[in-house]
Amino acid sequence: MSNNFLEIKNVSFRVGGKTKVKNVSFNIKNKGDIICLLGPSGVGKTTILRTIAGLEKIKSGSIKLKDKILSSAKNHIEPENRNISLSFQENSLFPHYTVEKNIHLGAEAKKINVKKKVSPKKIIKLLNIEKILSKYPHQISAGEAQRAALARSLVTQPDLLLLDEPLSNVDQSFKEEIQVQLKKLLNNLKITTIVVTHDSYEAFYLGSKCGVILNDQLKQYDDPYNVYHFPNSIEVVNFLNRGILIPAKVTGENSLENEDLGTIKGNFIKHYPKGSAVKLLLQPEDLEHDDKSNLKLEVVDRKFRGTNFIYTLKTATNHLIPVLVHSHHIHQHQVDEKFGIKRPIHIDHIVCF
């Protein structure tokens, strides 16, 4: 007997006879934990949710919830008997019922005394759907439909809540607010949740753990901080689009040397023997701007990101390096101008491959 709330062991997730994600294992340790699965479109994130919900069967491995086998090669508990709720990305509201009836049907179906923990009213208010309660699904926007479906899932208070891109159709202005409220509510209700998203910031905010699915595999399953700062493979680096990989040579316990940038110091997260040729992950926030520095690189592009600029600098060996600068910085550099990099370069966590 394991102590995990949800345990997925060696499962290959399939849909329509085709394997989407191979040999996946991960756990959710405690009731009420929120985890996020991150990956590009079409990689199989939704298939994972559908399989956990019981809408797809598995041929190997096992899925256990509270130590009870839900799916294995031999067993398959039907979706209606799992007490798992899945909020679909597309509109899944019952088209012939109003939004209000849709929400209440959830509670009625499972005969839940919803007053015990949280009232539907509170959920409706939180998701800001009071005004659309009397409307039919075809009369509301995609974002509103998504929130209504989310409300329907939440009122059932399932053992496990699965959210498939829950906020993909929600306006950006409203998204951050709803993320905060959603996280608070899920924590209050102690509803164990798996969120699938392609938005890394959403995943890092909502999840206590984060899984990255790439090329048919769960590449990394770790704390959001670790996924962000210590990606375990080049694929994860590329997917998160966090920086570039430049060639370097390990020169000591805490240092390495790059042809263009010179000596770089910091803490290696993995040991490499002195003299090893490695690829160093250089992220935008790793380098600092300094006009007085004698290390100057040419600006080839500048992107305004609201709170900051991302400069793209070209090195002598034609590598393009991203550098982040706060946008209140008064020295704005134009394309073709020279941009100074502070030396000596120090990076807190040195990630190499």
Q: Does 146 bind other proteins (CB under 8 A)?
A: no
Site for other proteins, residues 98 to 117, rule: CB under 8 A? 105-106, 109-110
CA–CA separation, 82 and 33 (whole Å)? 18
CA atoms within 13 A on the CB side of 247: 8
3-class DSSP state of 62:
strand
Among 84, 150, 236, 244, binds other proteins (CB under 8 A): 84
Q: Does 304 bind other proteins (CB under 8 A)?
A: no
| Closest separation in Å from C-beta 320 to other proteins | 36
Site for other proteins, residues 199 to 218, rule: CB under 8 A? none
3-class DSSP state of 170:
coil
Q: Both tokens of residue 199?
A: 């938005």
Are 285 and 324 in contact by the 8 Å Cβ rule? The answer is yes
Query: Distance between alpha carbon 195 and the CA centroid of its chain, in Å?
Result: 8
Output 83 or 169, the one with its CB closest to other proteins. 83
Q: Does 145 bind other proteins (CB under 8 A)?
A: no
| Closest separation in Å from C-beta 128 to other proteins | 21
Among 14, 20, 64, 152, binds other proteins (CB under 8 A): 152
| Closest separation in Å from C-beta 90 to other proteins | 6
Among 10, 60, 67, 80, binds other proteins (CB under 8 A): 80
Q: Does 96 bind other proteins (CB under 8 A)?
A: yes
| Closest separation in Å from C-beta 158 to other proteins | 8
Site for other proteins, residues 12 to 51, rule: CB under 8 A? 50
Are 67 and 1 in contact by the 8 Å Cβ rule? The answer is yes
Q: Does 220 bind other proteins (CB under 8 A)?
A: no
Q: Which residue(s) pair with 265 in the sheet?
A: 255, 346
Site for other proteins, residues 153 to 172, rule: CB under 8 A? 156
Among 55, 118, 269, 300, binds other proteins (CB under 8 A): 55
CA–CA separation, 66 and 339 (whole Å)? 57
Q: Both tokens of residue 309?
A: 């600029």
Cβ–Cβ contacts within 10 Å for residue 184, how many? 11
Q: Does 94 bind other proteins (CB under 8 A)?
A: yes
Q: Is 184 left (phi over 0), alpha (psi -120 to 50) or beta?
A: alpha
| Closest separation in Å from C-beta 130 to other proteins | 22
| Closest separation in Å from C-beta 213 to other proteins | 21
The continuous run of DSSP H or E covering 189 comes out as: helix 172-189
For the chain, count helices (H), then strands (E): 8, 19
Q: Does 78 bind other proteins (CB under 8 A)?
A: yes
CA–CA separation, 255 and 328 (whole Å)? 32
Q: Does 192 bind other proteins (CB under 8 A)?
A: no
Q: Which residues contact 9 (CB under 8 A, 6 or more apart)?
A: 25, 61, 62, 63, 64
| Closest separation in Å from C-beta 230 to other proteins | 36
CA–CA separation, 108 and 87 (whole Å)? 17
| Closest separation in Å from C-beta 194 to other proteins | 14
The continuous run of DSSP H or E covering 80 comes out as: none
Q: Does 129 bind other proteins (CB under 8 A)?
A: no
Question: Binders of other proteins: how many residues, by CB under 8 A?
Answer: 28
Binding site for other proteins (CB under 8 A): 50, 53-55, 78-86, 88, 90-96, 105-106, 109-110, 149, 152, 156
